C-alpha cells in the first residue's frame, strides 16, 4: 500500500479512537441546558466551568478531594506493596537455588489466570470477621503479599537477564543474598520496577470491583465509587458534574500515560500485559 493511503487510514482510525475522549471533555464544558437539549454537540457553542465547580463539591455529602485523597492512598499503598513484595519473590525465583523453585513458580503462573471470584468470598468473610470491611486494608494487604503474580513473572523475566557474574562478584566481596538483592539486582531492575509501579497505579486507580465490595461509607469512597453515586441519579442536572468528575478521574491516567508511554507500550509488547 502507498504510504499516503496508510497514513490517511491511520488518521481516520485515530479520529474514531479519540472521539469518546473528546466527546467527554466537550460534554464536561457544556452548560446543562444545552446537554439536555442536544447531548451530542461535539463543539459546544457556549462553554462553562459549572460542571467542574459541581464536580469539586463532590457527591453524597463528600467533596471530590475526599475521593481523590482516598484513591491516592489506595493506589500508593498498592504500588509500594507490589513493587516490594513482587521484587522480593522475583529475586528468589530468578537468582536463588532452592528445591521447590520450579513447582512454586509454576504455581505462581497458574494463579495469574485464576478468576478472582473463587477467592473473593472467603477473603471477604475473613476481612469481615476482622472488622476490616470499609477500611483500605483489604485493598492494600493483598498487594503487600504479592497476589498480583503477574508482576512477579514480569520481574523474574527481567532479572534473569542480569548477568550472573555480578552476583558472583558481590558474593566474593562478601555480600549475602540480602545485600546482593539490595545493592546489585534491585538497582539493575529499575525498568521492570517502573513498569510494575505504573501499571499497578493505573489498574488500582481504575479498579472498581474490589472497591465496590469493600468500601461502604461515603467518606471512604474512592473516585470510581464517587462516580458510581452518579449512576443511580437520573436527573439531568447532575450531568455536568458527572462528566466533569469523569474527566478529572482520567487526568492522572492521562498524565502517567504521557510521561511513561514508552515504558507502557514496551511492557505490553514484551510481556503481553493486558493493559
Partner 1 sequence: MPYLFLGPWLLGAIGLTVAPMVVSLYLSFTDYDLFNEPQWVGLDNYAKLFGDDPRYLHSVGVTLRYVAWSVPSKLLLALAVALLLNALRGKGQAFFRSAFYAPSLLGASVGLALAWRAIFDTWVDTPDHALVTIVLLSAWQFGAPMVIFLAGLQQIPRDLFDAAAVDGAGWWRRLWSITLPMLSPVLFFNLVLETIHAFQAFTQAFVVSGGRGGPADSTLFYTLYLYERGFTEFRMGYASAMAWVLLVAIALITAVLFRTSRYWVFYGDER
- CB of residue 224 to partner 1, shortest distance in Å: 4
Q: Which residue of 46, 172, 232, 235 would you call a contact of partner 1, by CB under 8 A?
A: 232
- What does DSSP assign to residue 177? H
Q: Which stretch binds partner 1 (CB under 8 A): 43-51, 62-70, 86-94, 162-170?
A: 86-94
Residue placing its CB nearer to partner 1 in the complex, 128 or 237: 128
Binding mask 122-141 for partner 1 (x = CB under 8 A): xxxxx-x-------------
Q: Which stretch binds partner 1 (CB under 8 A): 46-54, 70-78, 162-170, 267-275?
A: 267-275
Cell 521492570, located at residue = 192
- CB of residue 165 to partner 1, shortest distance in Å: 21
Residues in region 93-122 near partner 1 by CB under 8 A? 93, 96-98, 101, 104, 107-108, 111, 113-122
Q: Which residue of 7, 61, 69, 255 would you call a contact of partner 1, by CB under 8 A?
A: 7
Residue 6 binding partner 1, by CB under 8 A: yes
How far apart (Å, rounded) are the C-alpha atoms in residues 53 and 29?
A: 11
Residue placing its CB nearer to partner 1 in the complex, 52 or 239: 239
- Nine-digit cell at 236? 439531568
Helix (H) or strand (E) holding 103: helix 101-113
How far apart (Å, rounded) are the C-alpha atoms in residues 206 and 253?
A: 9
How far apart (Å, rounded) are the C-alpha atoms in residues 28 and 52?
A: 7
CA of 1: how far to CAs of 4, 5, 79, in Å?
8, 7, 44
Separation of CA 142 from chain center = 15
Amino acid at each position: 500500500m502507498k504510504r499516503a493511503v496508510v497514513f490517511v487510514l491511520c488518521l481516520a482510525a485515530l479520529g474514531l479512537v479519540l472521539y469518546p475522549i473528546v466527546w467527554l471533555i466537550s460534554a464536561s464544558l457544556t452548560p446543562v441546558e444545552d446537554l439536555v437539549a442536544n447531548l451530542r454537540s461535539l463543539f459546544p457553542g457556549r462553554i462553562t466551568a459549572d460542571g467542574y465547580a459541581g464536580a469539586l463539591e463532590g457527591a453524597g455529602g463528600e467533596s471530590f478531594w475526599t475521593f481523590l485523597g482516598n484513591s491516592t492512598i489506595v493506589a500508593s499503598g498498592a504500588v509500594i506493596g507490589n513493587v516490594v513484595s513482587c521484587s522480593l519473590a522475583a529475586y528468589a525465583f530468578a537468582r536463588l537455588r532452592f528445591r521447590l523453585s520450579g513447582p512454586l513458580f509454576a504455581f505462581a503462573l497458574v494463579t495469574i489466570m485464576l478468576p478472582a471470584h473463587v477467592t473473593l468470598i472467603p477473603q471477604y468473610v475473613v476481612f469481615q470477621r476482622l472488622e476490616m470491611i470499609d477500611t483500605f486494608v483489604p485493598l492494600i494487604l493483598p498487594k503487600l503479599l504479592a497476589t498480583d503474580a503477574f508482576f512477579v513473572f514480569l520481574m523474574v523475566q527481567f532479572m534473569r537477564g542480569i548477568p550472573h557474574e555480578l552476583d558472583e562478584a558481590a558474593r566474593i566481596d562478601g555480600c549475602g543474598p540480602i545485600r546482593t538483592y539490595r545493592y546489585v539486582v534491585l538497582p539493575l531492575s529499575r525498568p521492570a520496577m517502573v513498569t510494575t509501579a505504573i501499571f499497578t497505579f493505573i489498574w488500582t486507580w481504575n479498579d472498581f470491583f474490589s472497591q465496590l465490595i469493600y468500601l461502604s461509607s461515603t467518606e471512604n469512597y474512592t473516585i470510581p465509587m464517587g462516580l458510581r453515586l452518579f449512576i443511580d441519579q437520573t436527573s439531568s442536572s447532575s450531568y455536568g458534574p458527572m462528566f466533569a468528575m469523569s474527566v478529572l478521574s482520567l487526568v492522572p491516567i492521562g498524565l502517567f500515560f504521557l510521561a511513561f508511554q514508552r515504558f507502557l507500550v514496551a511492557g505490553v509488547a514484551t510481556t503481553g500485559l493486558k493493559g
